[in-house]
Structure 1
């Protein structure tokens, strides 16, 4: 994805901020705990915080959180949901925090939108020595047969290779790590996945898919046709046709330590 496409996709969420609040999942506490495991303290930056899905999990773990989010509509939802959290407008490429002021920089389902050539040095700048940088992604477990079928029917705009565990490791192994080119160095990256789940109905799962960036930037007719195929598929499966079910997921983490 080139710079223009990345910007178009990453700036699409504001129009769906309310739906994002309602339908996007939170993050497994065990995954967030693992991301923070070796941090020198609990001053945590949630970068690209969106509506506060990851922020809320950090608050539950007693972290001292600062949230930074560029989209005004997403930031407004975060402030509404978590009024006690310090929430600032800003970008990964220009973080509004002092040098070495943060023990961990975490990013939930957002790091792939950053321009890492610029954001990498910025994240390194705000991290204290020994600090942790971690990206977290909620992925649908396509090792389960009906989830794999949904991914095939819905297409990569709704469920892409980064959104399923069978390809997540390869997709995130190196492309989202900072290459500072300066004095700051990072250790070897580590990856781990933690079981998670979300109670859904067929309609609410389709609504979740509709909040993906690839869907939001589609022409309306194409988007409705894609969501229609997903809805028909879910109606055809015994696991999802009637009432609530648990969508099997993992919260997957890529972490690296500043040396």
Structure 2
């Protein structure tokens, strides 16, 4: 298995930690993504590559009828355990187990970079109603903040860090040109250990060996404890959600 595939498949074994420590998504970003539909009232929404349901839960809280599709069995099981009443299906972006033209919007949360776009975009177009929306978003640390830049530097591993915003999205005749927006967000963490637990759910950390991971963890904890001056300090981590949307045009 090549490194890209290993990274894409690394989250399942840590599904519970992923659900516990990853940030959710800002409501303002979801509402902006749905603006082309002319309404944010109860819609049929597909959360594609839904993981453990970090985005699914926000979509459900907004009152939408949500179908969650996720390829990893462990991640999907964690989603079902945490997000009640959602339709949850195994499946891939390149083969979505949903009938043609049945959803108003397809959301992808911090996962579009794993897709084979040549196969995924036509498949997403197939399940969307004409005029429906494809919305992809990434929640990333605000690296304009000095201590977060230092933390990112401390967390570097022998596997290259992947920064996903902006992502190069293929043009496709089934979709209008993309629009982009950015929204502030905050990820509350109750301690330095909780900050490190969040960083350690990223694929660049999951695929390295235990010795390297322990060394990076020690480095991050030393930086965070030194910054706050107390071992049990809480952190409100400034993030931003980078969002793009495209509208499904008629065939």
TM-score under structure 1 length normalisation:
0.88
Do the aligned partners of residues 240 and 60 (structure 1) sit closer, same or farther apart at CA in structure 2, a change above 3 Å counting? farther
Inter-partner Cα distance in structure 2 for 1:220 and 1:17: 18
CA change 1:15–1:63 in 2 (3 A) is same
> Would the alpha carbon gap of residues 33 and 159 (structure 1) be closer, same or farther in structure 2, given more than 3 Å must change?
farther
Whether the 8 Å CA contact 1:151–1:159 is kept in 2: the answer is no
Aligned partner of residue 155 in structure 1, secondary structure = coil
Q: Does 1:256 align with 2:246?
A: yes
- Residue number in structure 2 paired with 1:25: 23
Q: CA RMSD in A?
A: 1.9
SS at match of 1:247: strand
**Partner in structure 2 of residue 56 of structure 1:** 57
Counterpart in the other structure of 2:155: 154
Alpha-carbon offset, residue 4 of structure 1: 3.3
CA contact (8 A) 2:141 2:239 kept: yes
Distance 1:119 1:40, change over 3 A: farther
The match for 1:165 is: none
Whole-angstrom distance in 1 between the partners of 2:109 and 2:207 = 20
Work out the CA distance in 1 between the residues paired with 2:231 and 2:138: 27
Q: What does residue 231 of structure 1 align with?
A: 221
How far apart, in 2, do the equivalents of 1:250 and 1:116 lie?
24
1:192-231 to structure 2, matched below 5 A, reads 192-200=181-189, 201-231=191-221
The residue number in structure 2 matching 1:35 is 33
Alignment of 1:106-121 (within 5 A): 106-121=107-122
CA distance in 1, matches of 2:140, 2:246: 20
How far apart are residue 249 of structure 1 and its match?
0.8
> What residue ranges of structure 2 are gaps of 5+ in the alignment?
none
> Matched residue of 1:236: which SS?
helix
Equivalent pairs, count: 244
Distance 1:204 1:108 in 2: 22
Change (3 A) 1:240 1:85: farther
Per-residue CA deviations over 1:219-240 (Å, capped at 9, x if unaligned) read: 2211221222111111221388
CA-CA distance at 1:130 after TM superposition? 1.1
8 Å Cα contact 1:100/1:125 also seen in 2: yes
Query: What is the distance in 2 between the residues matched to 1:9 and 1:51?
Result: 16
CA distance in 2: counterparts of 1:256 and 1:158, whole angstroms: 30
Distance 1:152 1:214, change over 3 A: same
Structure-2 separation of matches of 1:26 and 1:158: 24
Q: What per-residue deviation string (whole Å, max 9, x for no partner) do you get for residues 74-99 of structure 1? A: 11111111230000011111100111
Q: d(CA) in 1 for partners of 2:92 and 2:163?
A: 25
Q: How does 1:51-200 map to 2 (within 5 A)?
A: 51-155=52-156, 160-162=162-164, 168-169=165-166, 172=167, 174=168, 177-180=169-172, 184-200=173-189
